[in-house]
Structure formats: structure tokens, C-alpha cells
Amino acid sequence: MTESGRAASRTAVLVCQGRAAAHGRAATDQFADPVAVGLLGVAERTTVDQVRANTPPEGWRERTAYESVRACAEVVVPRTVAIDRALRARVTGQLVILGAGLDTRAWRLPELAQTDVWEVDHPASQQDKRARLAGTAPVLRGPDEGDVHHAELPATARSVRFTPVDFAVDDLGAALDAAGHDPSAPTTWLWEGVVPYLTRDEVHATVAALAARTVPGSALVVNYQAPSARVAAGRLLTRVLGGFVTSGEPWRSLWKPQRMAVLLAEYGLRVVSDDSLLALAHTLGSPARGRTSLRSGRVAVAESH
Ligand SMILES: C[S@@+](CC[C@H](N)C(=O)[O-])C[C@H]1O[C@@H](n2cnc3c(N)ncnc32)[C@H](O)[C@@H]1O
């Protein structure tokens, strides 16, 4: 827990574990995240190594963690590829990552060399990420490492500006103003893996706030979940069996593609593509055992003209 009263996001760690597990193993010609593993702690990396080696551990707790990372790796491959493609095709001078978690793009994508990146996230999650990046997070230390500090990772983006915001209570526009974002210049917005954790009102408010800082030439890349009875049942079971994996982070809003398009259009953002992760996984030839969660996960790209 931090002084903000909320613990750092566990799901952000899970997604990072998924990327680390898939790196060099799935869709290797299109997917790569060599940075992810360096942000993980010793115990978190153990599960990643087990998934990479296809060696499920004994014990229900360890096995649940293993299955979560394995399933997550399947989802993040098409999701990352789709988003990276969309970002590479829409490089502007400003990239705002909403709910950045342990996103690695500012340290991974050379295409961002002329782009300033704002990483917006809940203060607790952001504090945890900064400690991981600086190599000072307690979770990073092995049993023999004591107070060892790892070297800070160099960014590939022109700059990275950490901007703490709780979407449920804070004013996103004011926070971005304070952090030097220019609302009169084109911005690429990325909103990955966050929408389900927000209520419909919070999603509306966030779109309104970003649209107020969006000029022609800007784009929004949004990953969201469409409703699915099977996914809902699966998540309920996961929480009952292994609540520690996603604890305290229930899904609050799911969006049919049509509703998402209508919402974005209300704010001048026209959807130009909206793909299911399952279709993307098939194109990539990446693993797709968890067809249900892949089918309901989507990546949409909307542009402002
Ligand atoms: C599943 S993680 C996704 C992280 C990252 N975008 C990725 O895909 O790797 C969800 C992220 O949403 C953030 N988040 C959830 N609710 C939030 C809120 N009310 N305000 C700010 N951030 C929030 C969490 O802190 C976390 O970083």
C-alpha cells in the first residue's frame, strides 16, 4: 500500500509477466518485449520462467499463478502487435499512455525517438513502476542481493513524464497541463487494458477529458473488452480460486464495438479499425487456447480529422 490508500496494480504486473513469457516464443517476427522481464521481481520471474519452459508447478496457488501468466501471454501477443502497429503508423510528437502500468514502449520503440511520452497512471501503480525502473523496488531483489541498485533503464522515447492520476477522482486535463502536455499539438493517445476497470461514467469522463486536448492529426488507440457470458464466468471462477492474482481489480465496464464507436464519435473521434484479439492471433499464428478471452478483447483505432 502507498499513502494514497491503494496498492499498486497487480494486473499491471500480470500483463508484464505475460509479455516477458511470450518474448522470443510467440509470433517472434512481429512480437518482442525484451524490456518486460527486467521490471519483474524475483518471484514474478520464476512464474515467467515456468511458463517459458512449459513446466507447471505443484501446488494450487503456484499453479493458478502459472495458468494466469500463460493465459495472459496469449492475450498480450496480438494486443501488443496491434497496438505497436497502430502507434508506428501514427507517430506524433506527443504520446499519452493512460493507465500505463508496466508498459515498456517508451523504453522499447525506437520510433518514439522524437516523441515525448506521458505515462499517466494511478499514483500507487506509478510509484511501484518508478521503483522497478530505478532498480530500487524491494520486489526486484534476490535473496543475496541486499541493497543492490540496478542501473536505470535508458528510454528510447525523447522524454518520459510520469503523471499520477486517479481517473476516478482526479482531473486528467489539469494533470496533463501541469506535466507540460500541449493540447494544441497532435497527440497519440494509448489506452490499453484499463477500460474494463473503470465504470461507464469514468470511461465517458476520460474520453471527454482527452477529446478536449485532441486536435486534428491526433489518434486514440484503445483496447477494451466486449461483453461475453463465458468470460464473465471464467473471471468469477479465477477470483474465487485465486483472487490474489487480480485482487481488488474487478471489471466494471464492457463495451460492444458499436457502443464504443458511438461514444468516441460523440467526441469527434472516428473509429477506423476495431479488431478482435482472436482474429489477430489467427493472423499472427500465435497460441489461442483461451479463445473466449481473445474473442472478447478488442483493439480499436480512432482518428481526429
Ligand atoms: C491491466 S493494467 C494495464 C497496464 C498497461 N496499460 C498494460 O496494458 O500493460 C491496468 C492499469 O490501469 C490502471 N488503473 C486502473 N484504475 C485506474 C484509475 N482509477 N486511475 C488510474 N489508473 C487506473 C492501473 O493502475 C493499471 O496500471
Ligand 1 mean position, distance from CA 99 (Å): 4
Q: Is 1 within the bounds of a domain?
A: no
Quick: pLDDT tens for 78-129. Answer: 999 999 999 999 999 999 999 999 999 999 999 999 999 999 999 999 999 9
Q: Is 5 within the bounds of a domain?
A: no
Q: Give me the pLDDT at residue 139, please.
A: 84
Which residue, 8, 248, 246, is CA-closest to 125? 8
| Between 251 and 144, the higher pLDDT residue | 251
Average pLDDT over residues 265-293: 94
Residue 173 has pLDDT above 70, yes or no: yes
Residue 221 has pLDDT above 70, yes or no: yes
Q: Is 160 within the bounds of a domain?
A: yes
Q: Give me the pLDDT at residue 137, please.
A: 80
Evaluate if pTM is beyond 0.85: yes
Q: Is 92 within the bounds of a domain?
A: yes
Cα–Cα distance between 145 and 164 in angstroms, integer?
30
Count of alpha carbons within 13 Å of 91, Cβ hemisphere only? 15
Q: 8 in ligand 1 pocket by Cβ < 6 Å?
A: no
State the angle between helix axes of 60-89 and 229-242 in degrees (0 to 180), rounded to the nearest 10: 130
Its domain, for residue 78, covers 10-303
Q: Give me the pLDDT at residue 304, please.
A: 97
Local confidence band at 4 (pLDDT 50, 70, 90 cut-offs): very low
CATH of the domain at 142: 3.40.50.150
Residue 9 has pLDDT above 60, yes or no: yes
Largest alpha-carbon pair distance within the chain?
Answer: 55
What is the DSSP pairing of strand 188-191 with strand 159-164?
A: unpaired
Q: Give me the pLDDT at residue 293, please.
A: 83
Quick: pLDDT tens for 228-253. Answer: 877 667 666 666 655 544 556 788 99
Ligand 1 mean position, distance from CA 146 (Å): 30
Q: Is 273 within the bounds of a domain?
A: yes
Ligand 1 mean position, distance from CA 163 (Å): 13
Q: 121 in ligand 1 pocket by Cβ < 6 Å?
A: yes
Q: 116 in ligand 1 pocket by Cβ < 6 Å?
A: no
Least confident span in 1-5, 16-20, 238-242: 1-5
Quick: pLDDT tens for 126-143. Answer: 999 999 999 878 787 766
32 alpha-carbon distance from chain centroid: 15
Q: 193 in ligand 1 pocket by Cβ < 6 Å?
A: yes
The domain total for the chain is 1
Q: Is 261 within the bounds of a domain?
A: yes
